[in-house]
Amino acid sequence: MSLLKSTSVKTFIGACCLSLAVISASVAAKDSTKPIVIPIHNWSSQIVMAHVIGGIFESMGNNVEFVPADTQAVYESIRIGDVTISHEVWQSTFGKSFYNAMAKGGVIDAGTHAATTLEEMGVPNWVIEQNLCPGLPNWEALKEEACYKNFTTADSEGKGRWLEGPQSWHGDMMPIRLKALGLDEHWTVKFAGGADALWTELVSAKKEGRGTMVFNWTPNFTDAEGYTFIKFPEYTEGCRKEDGGDGKCGSPNGWLKKAANYKFPKTHPAAYTAFSKISFTTKQVGEMAALVDIEKMDHQDAAKKWLADNEKTWKAWTK
Amino acid sequence: MLIALKQRKPLQYLLLLVVFMLLYRFVPQSEANWLWRLPSLFKELPIIINDAVNYLMFEWMPISVYDPDIEEYEQKPLFGQITRGFSGVILFMIELVREILLGGVKTIVTFTSWDWVSENKWARWPALPWTVITGGMVILGYSLGRAKLALFILCAFTYIAVFGQWESSMKTLSFVLVSAPIAILLGLWLGVWAYRSKTVEAVMNPLLNVAQIMPHFAYLIPVMVFFGIGDHAGAIATIIFATPPMVRLTVLGLKKVPPEVAEAGLMAGCTDRQLLYRVLIPSARRDILIGVNQVIMQCLAMVVIASLIGAKGLGNDLLIALNQLRVGKALEIGVCIVLIALVLDRLSLAWANKQTDYFANLSFKEKHQYSLIFLVVFVVGIALAVLGSFIFKEGFNYLYLIPQNKGITTEAFWQWGVDWIWEAFFYSFKAFNVWFIVEVLIPIKNSFLGMPVVATFTLMMGIGFIVGGIRSALIVGGCLLFIALTEWWDRALITAYLMTIAVVISGTIGILVGTLAAQHPTSSRFILTVCDTFQTFPSFIYLIPVMMFFGVTDTSVLIAIVVYATIPAARYTIEGLRSVPQELHDAASMSGVNRFQRWLSVELPLSFPHMALGINQTVVFALSMVIIGALIGTDDLGQLILKSLSDKAGVGNGLVLGFCVAFIGLAVDQILRTWADQRKQALGLS
């Protein structure tokens, strides 16, 4: 009796599997209706782009969900599958977290944007106009007393101060570079806690008219007022200390990548194809940021406007 | 000589100080010298913890789970599946409350599927018009606390709506309406448990401290991995953070219930359960209600941090506004957070204070008058919303849902305010800042860093020994030893330097302000509201102007810590002073003391247990700000915790660093608590 029962159960399961296989074969090409989860961070271009990409997915009939997330921790969430994609992976700030998560497995590289980025120490243009550091943007200018004395702060013990982003961005790269270039006698690195601190420093230094040297990147909203990046000895493959070099080099022209959870191509094949084709240029990234930062639009409205204005561009990616 | 020493505590402290100074002066500074710095034997600990957590998260007891989307079985670890189940329940509750307020589709999805919902576009839960929610809350306020509360709620909700923060505020509200009750019930339950068993209390005390002090960033990634990213993860981190004060105050309250009360209950034939719910908890109500207030405040204080792991709503908007340096906008959002906190707090207070009238013989209409009024509001609100859809043809229906960021704004005014302060005070601020950093902070920091490890141990264990004997000395020593054996002792010294300065300033201000305010009921109510405001007002907002004026320096960090850490010192001082019975005031006055003498010899000693708890909490609050300091830019433990978010062994590093911070708190707690207990015993208070 029990034998009979178990056989019938097995048959039943078998039938189920078969029918499931038939159903799934017929829908395999279609995207799952489960929402694609897009992370929201705290800077304008990223948020607008999140809504732009969300809009593209929605136009293809997908469901989309937005979730606020920390910029570094998000890669762990993508790895586990709680977040589906990340569309602005900056080489120098998030490269470390991105590759760490990729090494553990679960994150895939979904292509690179056309936009190239630069992330480097620099000064706002008015610092150069006021001639607070004669000879910039050449890095050798930093050696002169006429330069570093304009960049001291109360806690820098007479040295000029580099305000670098938090250590989670590039660890000890900047202190190592200072030392390698022999600048550590006259300069010291202070790690800020986050991007807010960098922007506040820029505003405050401008109001006071004092020199300030701050880590920044482009494309960014600071481009509008003008920002000069310091020209360090050119970056070559392997020039950094952790790659075995001597550390005497600046930052490379960086990439802006897209990341996705490894299941995304299987669960949403059409959306993934579109996502892998998406490639924003520097100008487009700048436009999205400007809609919010300069025209003071709401992020979602900005995304709607961008989608309406650039229909040709993004429609091509969905095909 | 020895006998004299044994009896005179000041002499003991003096001797300790001399030994400390000698050690400080004569221990040579070299890395090889164990008296200077201990070797970092625990260097591997973060990696071990990291591997263990990884094993638990990704490998232990894998079970096969079928993923219908990729049509494959996947190996998933058991522990993660259990935690995911738990977070699913919490997420469901949050979504349910949220969709009642704002409408949506998730609750329907829970009972059907995404496929079904995508096919049936009509299956959407509609949002309640904001007029209905506001009206409902006002009626609730009126029924619990009469006109004053109703008016306050009306103003608060109108503010939220008019300033265009309705959606985000409702998202935050739904998140708090789930996490706060869970934290309150959990805290009450744990508190009763600790009250009943000494062992439980002894075990729970350090755990509570760890939960409260451990910087949130230290457990951000584990929480995210185990519970996923989203509102539920935010809620769980919030519950971990908000429950401890509830437990503490429940225990404090229950312990203060006179044994006669409990005996009277027993004589009246109460069962255990009745004794607890009908006698003990109502008698301890005063302290338990402070606990409830604290839970609500802590929940809203966590709104911003919770948004880093996916909580939607005001916290996230705030971070975005701050990144654009829109201080005015951030301020408006901050006010919304504070208003939600105050509304919930006042409502819960009014509800708890409402007496049930058992003898009233009410008609149906009287009994249900509020429900009936709400029904009217509901119908009128919906009618208005429908009407609105005809009036506002283009774009938004202001009578239904006020769209995000389309309300009025006072941003320009605040920007003008910041500019004005800049014009008026910047150079005085700057002069002060330079003086403070060069003359005060840097010397103190260097003296902390120049302390040989043996001197630190002697000083701290010595104080522990004098205060609480060999047991306290060993506990303090154990806490410090853990930190000394990691490679982060110097970082911990910098944290200790910031904390010491902050606690001294906060404690002084807090006790002073608290004492002054407690002299009159109105002023104490006012200061308590100020406390509530600053506890929930996200520190990130004033950090921007503070950083503008004081730069990325330790001064800014200290200001941030002091603003937050002064709150418990003031709050508990007021609570303590006001709990001194009136009869004692009268008795003291009759024996001819003046006001100051009465304060010094009667009120201060009697409110001592509260005040000691206040200072204890000041330390805890200050340590919990380590991470906020790191967000400005410090070089202490906080900076490394922030960095651990992107480290390969980040989970292990983060947890060990978090424990370092927590152990500083535990060591201080051990000394303060033992001392307070002794004082209480000496005063006959325990």
CA distance B542 to B338: 14
Angle at A227 between CA A52 and CA B416, to 5 degrees: 80
Smallest CA-to-CA distance from B109 within B97, B96, B100 is with B96
**What is the structure's pLDDT at B435?**
94
Q: What is the pLDDT of residue B360?
A: 67
User: Does the residue B130 lie in any domain?
Assistant: no
Mean pLDDT value across chain B: 87
Task: Enumerate the H helices of B276-326 as residue ranges.
Answer: 281-283, 285-301, 303-308, 314-323
Q: CATH classification of A117-251 is 3.40.190.100, yes or no?
A: yes
Pairing of strands B72-77, B62-67: antiparallel
| Count of C-beta atoms within a 10 Å radius of residue B236 | 23
To the nearest 10 degrees (0 to 180), the angle between helices B327-353 and B314-323 is 160
Q: Are A136 and A229 in contact (CB under 8 A)?
A: no
B199 belongs to a structural domain: no
The arithmetic mean of pLDDT across residues B195-220, rounded, is: 86
pLDDT of residue A1 exceeding 50, the answer is: no
Q: Name the residue among B114, B320, B645 with its Cβ closest to that of A34.
A: B114
A4 has a pLDDT exceeding 60: no
A209 touches chain B (CB under 8 A): no
Of B98, B229, B444, which to mutate for an interface test with A (greatest number of A Cβ within 10 Å)? Answer: B229
The C-alpha atoms of residue B264 and residue B257 are separated, in whole angstroms, by: 12
- The size of the A-B interface in CB pairs under 8 A is 173
Distance in angstroms (rounded) separating the CA atoms of residues B38 and B31: 8
First-to-last CA distance in chain B? 33
Using CA atoms, how far apart are residues B630 and B643, in angstroms rounded to an integer?
10
Q: Contacts of residue B430 in chain A, CB cutoff 8 Å?
A: 208
Q: How confident is the model at residue A62 (pLDDT cuts 50, 70, 90)?
A: very high
Contact criterion met (CB < 8 Å) for B553 and A155: yes
pLDDT for residue A17: 45
Average pLDDT over residues B363-377: 82
pLDDT-derived band at B419, boundaries 50, 70, 90: confident
User: Is A85 within 8 Å of A38 (Cβ atoms)?
Assistant: yes
The residues facing B62 across adjacent strands are B77
Flag the least confident range among A20-34, A271-285, B151-165, B288-302.
A20-34
| Paired tokens of A235 | 């970056």
Q: Residues B550, B555, B556, B559: is their CA dihedral positive or negative?
A: negative
Query: What pLDDT sits at residue A155?
Result: 87
CA atoms of B176 and A126, how far apart (whole Å)? 46
Residue B248 scores a pLDDT above 80: yes
Using the Cβ of B633 and the Cβ atoms of chain A, whether some distance falls under 8 Å is answered with yes
Q: How far is CA B134 from CA A94, B84, B118, B493, in A?
A: 43, 35, 32, 50
Tell me the C-alpha distance between B597 and B588, whole Å: 9
Computed on alpha carbons and rounded to an integer, the radius of gyration of chain A in Å comes to 25
Query: CA-nearest residue of chain B to A200?
Result: B548
Percent of chain B with pLDDT over 70: 97
Q: How many domains does chain B have?
A: 1
Q: Does A121 have pLDDT greater than 90?
A: yes
Question: B117 in contact with A at a CB cutoff of 8 Å?
Answer: yes
CB-based contacts of B509-512 (< 8 A; 24+ apart in sequence) = B509/B562, B509/B566, B509/B569, B509/B570, B510/B565, B510/B566, B510/B567, B510/B568, B510/B569, B510/B570, B510/B571, B510/B573, B510/B614, B510/B618, B511/B569, B511/B570, B511/B573, B511/B611, B511/B614
CA-to-CA separations, B245 to B186, B547, B606, B681, in angstroms, rounded: 11, 31, 21, 23
Closest CA to A153 of A108, A114, A205, A101: A205
Give a yes or no: residue B647 inside a domain: yes
Please compute the mean of the pLDDT values over residues A47-76 and round it to a whole number. Answer: 93
Q: What is the mean pLDDT of residues B280-295?
A: 88
Restricting to A residues 274-303, those with a Cβ less than 8 Å away from any Cβ of B are: 292-293, 298-300
Q: Residues of CATH 3.40.190.10 domain(s) within chain A?
A: 31-116+255-318
HSE toward the beta carbon, residue B12, CA cutoff 13 A: 18
- Bond preceding residue A219 cis, omega within 30 of 0: yes
Single-letter amino acid, residue A93 = T
Give B531-564 pLDDT, tens digit per residue.
988 888 888 888 888 888 898 999 999 999 999 9
Given pLDDT bands bounded at 50, 70 and 90, which one contains residue B4? low
**B338 within a domain of the structure (yes/no):** no
Query: CA distances (Å), B555 to each of A115, A161, B633, B640, in order?
Result: 39, 17, 11, 20
Could B645 and A199 be called an inter-chain contact, meaning their C-beta atoms sit closer than 8 Å?
Answer: no
Question: Tens digits of per-residue pLDDT, B333-369?
Answer: 999 999 999 999 999 888 887 766 666 677 777 778 8
pLDDT over 90 percentage in chain B: 37
Residue-number span of the structural domain to which B584 is assigned: 493-655+682-686
pLDDT for residue B667: 93
- In chain B, what residues touch A296 (CB-CB under 8 Å)? none
The CA distance from B411 to the nearest CA of chain A, in Å, is 12
Q: How confident is the model over B608-632, as a mean pLDDT?
A: 86
Q: What is the mean pLDDT of chain A?
A: 86
- Is B328 within 8 Å of B410 (Cβ atoms)? yes
B59: contact with A, CB 8 A cutoff: no
Q: Is A305 on the interface with B (CB under 8 A)?
A: no
Contact of A242 with chain B, judged by CB distance below 8 Å, is answered with no
Q: Give dist(CA A207, CA B425) in Å, integer.
A: 13
- Residues in B closer than 8 angstroms to A201, CB to CB, are 547, 551-552
Please list, in sequence order, all residues whose beta carbon lies within 8 angstroms of the beta carbon of residue A99, skipping any fewer than 6 positions away. none
**A67 in Cβ contact with B230 (< 8 Å):** yes
Given pLDDT bands bounded at 50, 70 and 90, which one contains residue A2? very low
Note the pLDDT tens digit of each residue in B562-593. Answer: 999 999 999 999 988 888 888 888 888 888 88
Name the residue of chain B whose CA is nearest to A61's CA.
B118
Question: Is the residue at B15 inside a domain?
Answer: no
For residues B245 and A90, give the distance between their C-alpha atoms in angstroms, rounded to a whole number: 41
Q: Where in chain A is the domain with CATH 3.40.190.100?
A: 117-251
Locate B111 and state its tokens: 């009972």
CATH of domain A31-116+255-318: 3.40.190.10
pLDDT exceeds 90 at position A162: yes
> Using an 8 Å Cβ cutoff, are B296 and B180 in contact?
yes
Q: Which amino acid appears at position B651 of this protein?
A: V
Contact B405 A167 (CB under 8 A): no
Query: Does residue B372 belong to any structural domain of this protein?
Result: no
Contacts of A147 (CB under 8 A, 6+ apart): A132, A133, A134, A135, A136, A141, A160
pLDDT for the residue B125: 84
Q: pLDDT tier at A24 (50, 70, 90 boundaries)?
A: very low
Q: Would you call B495 an interface residue with chain A, using a CB distance cutoff of 8 Å?
A: no
What pLDDT does residue A222 have? 87
Tell me the chain A residues in contact with residue B308 when contact means C-beta distances shorter than 8 Å: 68-70, 73
| CA gap B485, B473 in Å, rounded | 18
Banded model confidence at residue B396, pLDDT cuts 50, 70, 90: confident
Q: How far is CA A25 from CA A19, A266, B70, in A?
A: 10, 13, 12
The mean per-residue pLDDT over the stretch B220-248 comes to 89
- Tell me the per-residue pLDDT of B640-667, one tens digit each, with 9 for 90 and over: 998 887 777 788 899 999 999 999 999 9
B642 in contact with A, Cβ within 8 Å: yes
Kindly state the percentage of chain A with pLDDT values over 90: 53
pLDDT at B3 over 70: no
pLDDT of residue A29: 61
Cβ within 8 Å, pair A82-B224: yes
Q: Is the pLDDT of residue A20 over 60?
A: no
Gyration radius of chain B's alpha carbons: 27
Could you tell me if B394 lies within 8 Å of chain A, comparing CB atoms? no
Contact assignment for B316 to A196 by CB distance below 8 Å: no
- Among B429, B487, B481, smallest CA distance to B456 is for B481
Inform me whether the pLDDT recorded for A6 exceeds 60: no
Q: Sign (positive/negative) of CA torsion A287, A289, A291, A295? A: negative
- A26 CB within 8 Å of a chain B CB: no
Confidence band of B2 (pLDDT split at 50, 70, 90): low
The DSSP bridge partners found for residue A122 are A214, A229
Decide if pLDDT at A16 tops 60.
no
Which residue in A has a C-alpha nearest to residue B323's C-alpha? A196
| Closest CA relative to residue A101, chosen from A283, A226, A212, A261 | A261
Q: Considering only CA atoms, which of B228, B238, B668 is closest in space to residue B475?
A: B668
If we measure between CA atoms, which residue out of B596, B610, B615 comes closest to residue B683?
A: B610
Give the CATH number of the domain where residue B519 resides.
Answer: 1.10.3720.10
Tell me whether residue B437 is in a domain: no
> A209-240 pLDDT, tens per residue?
889 999 998 888 888 888 999 999 998 888 88
A82 min Cα distance to partner chain B (Å)? 6
- Dist. CA B298–CA B187, nearest whole Å: 13
Contact B683, B608 (CB under 8 A): yes
Q: Hey, which residues 129-168 in chain A have their CB within 8 Å of chain B?
A: 153-155, 163, 166-168
Q: Which is nearest to A300 in space by CA: A55, A51, A54?
A: A51
B172 interface with A at CB cutoff 8 Å: no
Q: Which of A82, A167, A199 sits opposite B639 (nearest CB)?
A: A167
Q: Could you tell me if A77 lies within 8 Å of chain B, comparing CB atoms?
A: yes
Give the integer Cα–Cα distance in Å for B528 and B31: 49
CA B7 to centroid of chain Cα atoms: 41
Decide if B315 touches A, using CB distance below 8 A. yes
Q: What pLDDT does A28 receive? A: 46
